[in-house]
């Protein structure tokens, strides 16, 4: 089942205008899709366009077969979660208070989080492995802890589609592994996952499908096997690259 | 799955300690406010300093009128203005993701200042004219700031409003300067300067009901929405991905926060520092979430302004402008609290 799909999507933020050109992308439920591309290739804009944040100039995005613009923001927020890159929070909320923000889509404008919401927030923290931090204040966290807390906030939203912008940016190697198993576990339970990444090797170790993008245009899209190829990746990054095999895993290196 | 999973919490786990602490803090402050309020009614220079013996109320007509027509509305007004300024400061700081935002910065303070000085110079400075024009121009300042923010083609919602607020304030500040320049230096100029420093003298029941009519609905709305206010402090992409912070919601909250300030500034002049410092204090004492910090800020602000206003009218035989005392005491209080050792951090 395709959870989220884009067809001939052109989008971009003013004042630059359109930076994405005719992107076709399927995010199937239960699969992890990684978006790879050099800096400035439009990865973040694509992620934002998939959730209706970046203005769309043409083409369409559908969630569960229905056009994105036919959902209210509130409806959509119950189904699609976003983990932005480098989220800055201006106030010293506690970790638990922050993760509870993820319950907003499920609460009415005058409601406040109840016991059940607190319970869900605690579970989300446990799933990302940072439950022990729940009383700490956000500014006291390390970059990696913070990233895991932001992911927990998106999990508390209980989304069917989870979009993550550079989720590995602040994580050390141990946390890479933790994030990988978390994303695989979410996918196994039926969530459609899509993340952007700088590191092709992390993407290859975690994703089922790849979207390769350069200059706002899709170079290739499809299952990892067909898309994690020397020729395609070299074209995307503009330098010669080689794919080695190590214990069955592909490993991309400069040649 | 991550290796570090912990047992799910029992649903009836006891409330964290800080919530109980927060409740006690609110109750204590409310009691303190009640005592201060009672004292404020009797402190003063009639029949002789420092206070009016309550027994005098039984048969002294002047004492009755003094307490009933002057001190009671003035004390209530101080409470209302203090709570409004602090609530507004808390909310605007969240909305603009900036803990240094003051409630009047969106053209409200300088607009009111311009309206008042215009009334002093052009209309002879009758109280009704001063307050009326101050209210009118506070609203014009706000409307102009919001309107111009929509025309700016640069940056996000927050940045645009900040920029237009600064520009509108500067425009009106220039107008105030012009009025001061044009004012009669012996008669009008001292009036303008005195008004700009803020104060509650000359306020009675009429002013109280007026402010109550504006503040009560606005503050009630903010209190009811206070959890959503926290969400509005998140970055735009995050807030929108959570289905909050559409323009209409932000505008509603903005108006609910600024209208009481416009009303208060029109009646009482520019009372600085309260709306900037009290929210900081409240956050420091009860944590960042407005679920706890907004009610606390309102109580603290009410208490702070009641104390400073009582001091303003009793310390000397004249009247010390309120703005001087709020700045002086506010800054001292602020420094004291900010240099206290941090004790609340729990966990590792």
**Tens digit of each residue's pLDDT (9 = 90 or more) over A92-148:** 999 999 999 999 999 988 889 999 999 999 999 999 999 999 999 999 999 889 999
Q: How far is CA A212 from CA A215, A238, B244, in A?
A: 10, 12, 32
Percent of chain A with pLDDT over 70: 100
Whether B123 contacts B129, CB under 8 Å = yes
| Cβ-based neighbour number of residue B166 at 10 Å | 14
CA distance A234 to chain B (A): 32
- Return the HEC string of A119-182: HHHHHHHHHCCCHHHCCCEHHHCCHHHHHHHHHHHHHHCCCCEEEECCCCCCCCHHHHHHHHHH
Question: Which residue does chain B place closest to A76, by CA atoms?
Answer: B243
Let me know if residue A187 belongs to a domain: no
Q: Is residue A128 located within the same domain as residue A232?
A: no
**Partner A contacted by B241 (CB < 8 A):** yes
E strands within B287-327? none
Contact present, A6 and A53 (Cβ < 8 Å): no
Task: With CA atoms as reference, report the closest residue to A179 among A155, A159, A209.
Answer: A155
Please report the sign of the dihedral spanned by the C-alpha atoms of residue B338, residue B341, residue B343, residue B345: positive
Domains in chain A, number: 2
The ipTM is 0.91
Percent of chain B with pLDDT over 70: 93
Quick one: A177 and A253 in the same domain?
A: yes
- Could you tell me the two tokens for B215? 């503040």
Task: Tell me, yes or no, whether A12 and A47 share the same domain.
Answer: yes
Whole-number Å distance between alpha carbons of A115 and B192: 55
Chain A contact present for B184, CB below 8 A? no
Q: Per-residue pLDDT tens for B126-135?
A: 888 998 999 9
Tell me which residue range forms the domain holding A252: 1-79+160-182+192-255
Q: How confident is the model at residue B10 (pLDDT cuts 50, 70, 90)?
A: very low
Which tokens belong to B95? Answer: 């909305």
Model pLDDT for residues B297-327, shown as the tens digit of each residue: 999 999 999 999 999 988 888 889 999 999 9
Is the same domain home to A75 and A99? no
Contact status of B223 with chain A (Cβ, < 8 Å): no
CB contact under 8 A, B246 and A140: no
- A131 assigned to some structural domain: yes
Considering the four listed CATH numbers 3.30.70.100, 1.10.3470.10, 3.40.640.10, 1.20.140.10, the one that applies to the domain covering B77-338 is 1.10.3470.10
Question: In terms of domains, do A254 and A174 share one?
Answer: yes
Q: State which H helix or E strand residue A9 sits in.
A: strand A2-11
Contact B247/A at CB under 8 A: no
Nearest to A181 among B2, B240, B347 (CB): B2
Q: How confident is the model at residue B275 (pLDDT cuts 50, 70, 90)?
A: very high
């Amino acid at each position: 089942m395709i959870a989220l799909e884009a067809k001939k999507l052109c989008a971009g933020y003013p004042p630059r205008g359109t930076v994405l050109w005719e992107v076709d992308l399927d995010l199937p439920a239960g699969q992890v899709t990684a978006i790879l591309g050099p800096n400035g290739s439009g990865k973040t804009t694509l992620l934002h366009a998939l959730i209706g944040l970046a203005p769309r100039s043409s083409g369409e995005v559908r969630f569960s077969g229905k056009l994105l613009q036919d959902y209210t923001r509130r409806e959509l927020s119950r189904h699609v979660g976003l983990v932005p890159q480098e989220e800055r929070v201006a106030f010293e909320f506690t970790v638990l208070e922050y993760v509870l923000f993820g319950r907003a889509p499920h609460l009415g404008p005058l409601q406040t989080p109840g016991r059940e919401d607190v319970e869900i927030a605690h579970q989300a923290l446990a799933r990302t492995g940072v439950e022990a931090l729940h009383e700490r204040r956000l500014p006291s966290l390390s970059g990696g802890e913070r990233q895991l807390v932001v992911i927990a906030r998106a999990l508390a939203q209980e989304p069917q589609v989870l979009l993550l912008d550079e989720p590995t940016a602040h994580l050390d190697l141990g946390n890479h592994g933790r994030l990988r198993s978390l994303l695989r576990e979410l996918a196994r339970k039926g969530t459609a996952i899509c993340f952007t990444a700088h590191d092709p090797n992390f993407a290859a170790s975690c994703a089922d499908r790849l979207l390769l993008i350069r200059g706002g245009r899709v170079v290739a899209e499809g299952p990892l096997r067909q898309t994690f190829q020397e020729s395609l990746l070299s074209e995307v990054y503009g330098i010669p690259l080689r794919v080695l095999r190590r214990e069955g895993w592909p490993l991309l290196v400069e040649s | 799955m991550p290796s570090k999973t912990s047992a799910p919490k029992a649903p009836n786990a006891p409330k964290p300690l800080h919530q109980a602490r927060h409740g006690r803090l609110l109750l204590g402050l409310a009691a303190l406010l009640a005592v201060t309020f009672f004292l404020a009614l009797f402190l003063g220079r009639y029949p002789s300093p420092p206070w009016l013996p309550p027994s005098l109320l039984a048969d002294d007509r002047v004492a009755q009128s003094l307490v009933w027509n002057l001190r009671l509305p003035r004390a209530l007004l101080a409470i209302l203005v203090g709570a409004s300024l602090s609530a507004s400061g808390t909310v605007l700081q969240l909305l603009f993701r900036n803990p240094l935002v003051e409630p009047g910065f969106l053209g409200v303070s300088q607009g009111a200042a311009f309206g008042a000085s215009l009334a002093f110079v052009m209309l002879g400075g009758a109280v009704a004219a001063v307050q009326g024009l101050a209210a009118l121009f506070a609203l014009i300042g706000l409307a102009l700031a919001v309107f111009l923010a929509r025309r700016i083609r640069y940056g996000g919602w927050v940045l645009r409003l900040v920029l237009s607020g600064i520009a509108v304030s500067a425009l009106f500040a220039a107008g105030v300067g012009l009025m001061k320049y044009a004012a009669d230096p012996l008669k009008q100029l001292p009036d303008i300067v005195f008004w700009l420093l803020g104060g509650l003298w000359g306020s009675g029941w009429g002013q109280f009901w007026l402010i109550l009519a504006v503040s009560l609905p606005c503050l009630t709305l903010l209190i009811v929405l206070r959890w959503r206010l926290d969400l509005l402090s998140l970055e735009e992409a995050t807030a929108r991905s959570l289905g909050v912070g559409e323009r209409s919601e932000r505008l509603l909250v903005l108006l609910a926060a600024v209208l009481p300030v416009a009303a208060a500034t029109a009646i009482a002049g520019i009372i600085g520092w309260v709306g900037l410092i009290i929210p900081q204090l409240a956050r420091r004492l009860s944590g960042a979430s407005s679920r706890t910090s907004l009610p606390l800020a309102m109580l603290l602000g009410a208490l702070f302004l009641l104390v400073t206003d009582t001091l303003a009218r009793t310390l000397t035989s004249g009247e010390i402008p309120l703005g001087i005392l709020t700045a002086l005491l506010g800054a001292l209080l602020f420094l004291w609290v900010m240099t206290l050792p941090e004790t609340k951090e729990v966990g590792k």
